[in-house]
């Protein structure tokens, strides 16, 4: 089973702690997504976050290639509480150390009103495991968010949540994970991260 995860492109309004705000893609964001995928369509199904910056591209891609597409609410981004809609510059102007505390330990230093990171992990990993069970042998494309992709990678690589922000996830970057076996014998490995299908047209990876 192969699962590709692609982060949405740039939304309207540029870089900010957007969380579950439902901004659409900007024109640049649409270009980023279309360029990352190119003319490739190796998937059996597209699964997407319901937020517009993911779902609208997923629907266009699925229509263009005649693929089934489903929205999965559990793939929406983590809620950032009072940080939603604010930029890093705005936050650090009020407290210069606020982001350093957050990135060093995002579990202990949640923004006020933010979704608890363990609850976020549970819903994302729960969705991931359900997809593996429900779609064995498939090649899926998940259109999602940086936080979702970080949590999946932490799960696959056995990393603690406190370290999730050491993983950089670029706009329109594609991550590919191969999953072999079933149930408790399931084994997942990361094949590539953060690239585009034009430059990462491979399925097996370098290792046997």
Spatial contact of 21 and 85, defined as CB atoms under 8 Å apart: yes
Contacts with 205 (C-beta within 8 Å, 6 or more apart), sequence order:
178, 189, 191, 192
| For range 78-95, the mean pLDDT | 97
- Alpha carbons 182 and 2: distance in angstroms, whole number: 13
How do the domains of the chain map onto residue ranges? 2-195
Beta bridge partners of 5: 142, 175
pLDDT confidence of residue 198: 59
The candidate with the shortest Cα–Cα distance to 165, out of 80, 56, 70, 74, is: 80
| pLDDT at 63 > cutoff 50 | yes
- Average pLDDT over the chain, rounded to an integer: 93
The encoded tokens of residue 102 equal 């957050």
The structural architecture, per CATH, of the domain 2-195 is 3-Layer(aba) Sandwich (3.40)
Beta bridge partners of 17: 86
pLDDT (tens digit per residue) in 160-169: 999 999 999 9
pLDDT (tens digit per residue) in 118-145: 999 999 999 999 999 999 999 999 999 9
Q: Look up the pTM and report it.
A: 0.93
The candidate with the shortest Cα–Cα distance to 148, out of 29, 83, 53, is: 53
More confident residue, 195 or 86: 86
Spatial contact of 44 and 140, defined as CB atoms under 8 Å apart: yes
- Alpha carbons 49 and 58: distance in angstroms, whole number: 9
More confident residue, 182 or 156: 156
| pLDDT at 202 > cutoff 50 | no
| For range 164-176, the mean pLDDT | 97
Q: What is the DSSP letter of 127?
A: H
């Amino acid at each position: 089973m192969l699962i590709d995860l692609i982060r949405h492109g740039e939304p309207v309004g540029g870089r900010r702690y957007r969380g579950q705000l439902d901004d659409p893609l900007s024109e640049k964001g649409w270009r980023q997504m279309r360029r990352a995928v190119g003319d490739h369509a190796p998937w059996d199904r597209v699964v997407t976050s319901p937020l517009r910056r993911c779902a609208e591209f997923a629907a266009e891609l699925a229509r263009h290639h005649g693929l089934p597409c489903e929205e999965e609410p559990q793939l929406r981004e983590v809620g950032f509480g009072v940080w939603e809609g604010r930029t890093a510059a705005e936050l650090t102007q009020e407290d210069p150390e606020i982001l350093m505390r957050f990135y060093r330990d995002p579990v202990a230093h949640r923004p006020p009103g933010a979704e608890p990171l363990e609850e976020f992990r549970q819903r994302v990993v729960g969705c991931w495991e359900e997809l593996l069970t429900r779609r064995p042998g498939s090649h899926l494309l998940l259109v999602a968010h940086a936080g979702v992709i970080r949590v999946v990678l932490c799960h696959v690589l056995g990393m603690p949540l406190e370290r999730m922000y050491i993983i950089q996830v670029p706009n329109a970057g594609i991550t590919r994970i191969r999953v072999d076996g079933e149930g408790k014998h399931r084994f997942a490995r990361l094949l590539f991260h953060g690239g585009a299908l034009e430059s990462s047209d491979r399925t097996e990876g370098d290792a046997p």
